[in-house]
Structure 1
Amino acid sequence: MAATWETTAFVFHAIGAHNQQTEAYAIVWQILFLLAPLWLNAFVYMTFARMVHFYMPDRKVSFVKASHVSKLFVWADILSFIVQAAGGVMVTPSASASTQRLGMHIYEGGIGLQELFILCFLGLMIAFHVRVRKLGRPEEDALGADVGEHLQEMKKTRGALWLLYALYAVLAFITMRIIFRLVEFTGGDDPSTNPVPYHEYYFYALDAFPMLAALLILAVVHPGRFITGPNSSLRDATREEKKIKKAEKKALKE
């Protein structure tokens, strides 16, 4: 979805360049371009939740269950999406200067929320990172008992770390893009003091490029290469949990 929205945004941007009196092209371009990274954010949250379920024996990171990780942060992403969309709609060429300024402030608040959620999420990622590294280093007695099992565990740990580093990089690129947008919108609308909104190469280098880099990273280090087999789906886990609860209730009744 992130790639589709970004690509569609540039299609409308190109069409709008040849039809500069048609406001609709500019509105669609701006909204899709501003909101596309939120889909990428949601993908990172959901991927990490599956990593917790797949790699952690207790299906938790810190005190948060894997299923709760995705729910909490995807809902947080939706909140940020709504706030940013409200601000983005108000920053249209036909809106008055006061409406555009208000829209910019609302959008700034939305990306500020997005970055706050990313920082909270980063804390969970670091906690997961520490635990994964420990799991990949079993005791010496366990190593002697089953070398094959240890090697398999080391391979699994390496996969987890590769994917984790990829998610770190994606969040770094999203943060880079958020910082750019904050600088752009907080700098005012005077070209002499804030040239950023008036030169396209800024958003190509500091918004479009980070998105492209993040998408390429996830295409190369794709979660499907590492999270495979049993426990790879949170949905399956939920179904299994429901079955266990039903069985427990049935046993208690009997």
Structure 2
Amino acid sequence: MNTGDGPFGPVVNGTQIVFFEYRPNEAAGYAFLALFGIAALVHLFFILQLRAWFCIALFLGGISETFGYYGRARASKDPSQVGPFIQQNLLILVAAPFLAASIYMSLGRLTVGLGAQRHSVISVRWMTKIYVLVDIGCIGSQFVGSIIPASGDPDAIKNSRIILIAGLIVQLSALSLFIFTCWHVHTRVKRNPPDMLLENPALQWEKYFWAVEGMTGLMLIRSMVRSIEYLQGEGGFVISHEVFIYLFDAVPMLLIMVILAVVHPGRLIRQVRGFKALQ
């Protein structure tokens, strides 16, 4: 076991490859393991209860976060080991695009459910596909960028950061366009309600759009801080302080899962189906 104070990482050809600038906090890792594990199980229940299959990506994201923070807890014992470092780095990074995919699909389901397709800037049929394809690209880039450092080669680690930054910037751009798309549909529906809302004025639809916009905002904050972290590189202020990964990654991602549990789009979709069945 490495009992020093950091930085931690293997020594390759006489050069230390830095995995962590500090010893990861074991208690914090296990705490978020438990929180994400509970959130993932709650969403699994809602997927089955509401038949909200579009939220499977959210469940996978929650599982990734759970085992990612397990990796951080494991890394506390010996931060120089490759396995726990790759586990936490890969799974925590990959979890975000899974959660983002569920947010994208939520807007598509809400728009179609309310019959508000005409208010979307992008065709709803293509909107979800485009954003999810972007997300798959982000998952791929973050997967590759997280695995490469295992080689211990300094050039490979440098290249992995470039790949990760590129993936994060693409995700940041997609989220910015998406929040505008959501806001546009939201405001147009409010000004010119579709028939479903005119016939059922008691339907509490607006809180679902606020939820999607709030979750996208949290995702934007997370992506911006992560981009700054990798742009600063080794020894940077963000990467050198563990509080940032919890405050600007773990907490926002957990809040997204909590918001989607409290204001689940599947409930509105089920209400809409019930109204249509009565007509």
Fold equivalence (TM over 0.5): yes
- In structure 1, how many angstroms separate the alpha carbons of the residues matched to 2:233 and 2:152? 16
Aligned-pair distance for 1:19? 4.2
Structure 2 residue 51 is the aligned partner of structure 1 residue 9: no
Distance (whole Å) between structure 2 residues aligned to residue 52 and residue 116 of structure 1: 22
Choose from 175, 190, 206 the match for 2:220. 175
The answer on whether the counterparts of 1:53 and 1:231 sit within 8 Å (CA) in structure 2 is no
After TM superposition, list the pairs within 5 Å mapping 1:142-161 onto structure 2. Answer: 153-156=200-203, 159-161=204-206
CA contact (8 A) 2:148 2:157 kept: yes
Structure 2 vs 1, CA of residues 20 and 124 (structure 1 numbering), >3 Å: closer, same or farther? closer
Equivalent position to 1:34, from 81, 84, 93: 93
Q: Aligned residue for 1:88? A: 146
Letter in 1 for 2:211: A
Q: Which residue of 2 aligns with 1:45?
A: 104
**8 Å Cα contact 1:61-1:124 kept in structure 2:** no
Q: What is aligned with 1:146?
A: none
Q: How do 1:121-200 residues align onto structure 2 when only pairs under 5 Å count?
A: 121-136=178-193, 153-156=200-203, 159-190=204-235, 194-200=236-242
How far 1:60 moved relative to its partner? 3.6
Equivalent residue of 1:48, what SS?
helix
Counterpart CA distance in 1 for 2:82 and 2:246 is 21
For the pair shown, the structure with the greater C-alpha radius of gyration is: 1
* Deviation, structure 1 residue 222: 1.0
RMSD: 2.3
- The CA distance in 1 between the partners of 2:209 and 2:121, in whole Å, is 19
Aligned residues: 215
**Distance in 1 separating the partners of 2:97 and 2:197:** 39
CA distance in 1, matches of 2:74, 2:271: 45
Deviations 1:67-90 (A, max 9, x none): 222112111111121122222222
**Corresponding position: 1:226 with 2:268:** yes
In 1, Cα distance between equivalents of 2:121 and 2:224:
30
More helix per residue: 1 or 2? 1
Structure 1 length normalisation: TM-score? 0.77
Counterpart check, 1:212 vs 2:254: yes
CA drift at 1:104:
0.6
1:137 is displaced (CA, Å) by 9.5
> CA, structure 1 residues 60+81, in 2 after alignment: closer, same or farther (shift >3 Å)?
farther
Q: What is the rounded CA distance, in whole Å, between the counterparts of 1:112 and 1:197 in structure 2? A: 18
Q: Please give the alpha-carbon distance, in whole angstroms, between the structure 1 residues aligned to 2:201 and 2:215.
A: 24
